[in-house]
Amino acid sequence: MAVYLDPPLWPAHETLFSHLISDTSLAELHAFAAAAGIPERAFDGDHYDVPQRRYDDLVAAGAIPVEARVLVRKLIASGLRIPARSRTKSLKTPLLNRWNMVMPGHDALFLDLLDRWSESHRRYHGCTHLLAVLEALDLLTAPARPPRTVLLAAWFHDAVYRGVAGQDEEESARLAELRLGEAGLPEAEVDEVARLVRLTSDHLPEAGDDDGALLCDADLSVLGGEPEPYARYVAAVREDYAHIGDADFAAGRAAVVRQLLALDPLFHTERARRLWLDAARRNLQGELGQR
């Protein structure tokens, strides 16, 4: 029986947060948290989020400090981690409703995609992200509907996800070519969906590529969230890369943030710039300042 604490790496509210877990039971975790004065509202399903200022006294109270990747592995091994399927189970119905507006009569393909987006190793790149991209497309095109090829590209853009930049997008595009071809979509539509999926590798559509701009902006809309959702996004991305050590992840993430800040434009549509640009710059600059 032990309680573990990872380093304070996750930015929110102008500080950094750690995760506190038990490798045995939630009862042990709750008892430790209560004794340490951690409020119940800090509990998030299988862990507590604790601010940087509490790190040293939690270690002094008996929490064992470990790297983030070690903490994730211990949580998985304990059987206490909330799997992706359970976290996203409630999204099946809204996603099915949206799918039926785009590809009615193709339930088998929907279930295959849902299984892919629900894979247990995903935290950020899961069903919640898929739904968020689809909802962002609604915002960017209202009162009209997004083009079908853009919607299908959203469904496929992270259908293959192993955490290998560039390769994941290429394999997702090839999957779209295969499965949409089998579904009987016209070749021109299949080719366009695959082209759009590949764009999410660098989010650099060419001038005049309106559909590419829509998809890229929707995919990056998470950057323009409020501080708490943005902090959850950063934490979830860290867990997607739990196989990478803290120092390597911090260096790689800082490079990604710098690349995003260097994008000009970061968002390509006027509506996306109005909705998310200012907050995205604040979030990215704030995260970089914490690293």
- The predicted-structure confidence for 110-129, as pLDDT tens digits, reads as follows 999 999 998 878 888 999 89
- Dihedral class, residue 189 (left if φ above 0, else alpha if ψ from -120 to 50, else beta): alpha
Give residue 291's pLDDT. 64
In this prediction, residues 41-54 reach a mean pLDDT of: 87
From the list 183, 223, 184, 179, the residue with the least C-alpha distance to 197 is: 179
Give residue 82's pLDDT. 73
User: pLDDT by residue (tens digit) across 240-275?
Assistant: 887 888 889 999 999 999 999 999 899 999 999 999
For residues 140 and 44, what is the distance between their CA atoms, to the nearest angstrom?
31
80 against 54, higher pLDDT: 54
Exposed e or buried b for every residue in 45-72, given b needs 16+ CB within 10 A?
ebbbbbbbebbeebeeeebeebbbbbbb
Place of tokens 């950020």: 124
In this prediction, residues 206-227 reach a mean pLDDT of: 96
Asked if residue 85 has pLDDT above 60, the reply is: no
Give residue 239's pLDDT. 84
62 against 87, higher pLDDT: 62
For residues 63 and 59, what is the distance between their CA atoms, to the nearest angstrom?
5
For residues 105 and 280, what is the distance between their CA atoms, to the nearest angstrom?
38
Count CB atoms within 10 A of the CB of residue 39. 10
pTM of the model: 0.72
In this prediction, residues 224-238 reach a mean pLDDT of: 86
- Dihedral class, residue 62 (left if φ above 0, else alpha if ψ from -120 to 50, else beta): left
Asked if residue 203 has pLDDT above 80, the reply is: yes
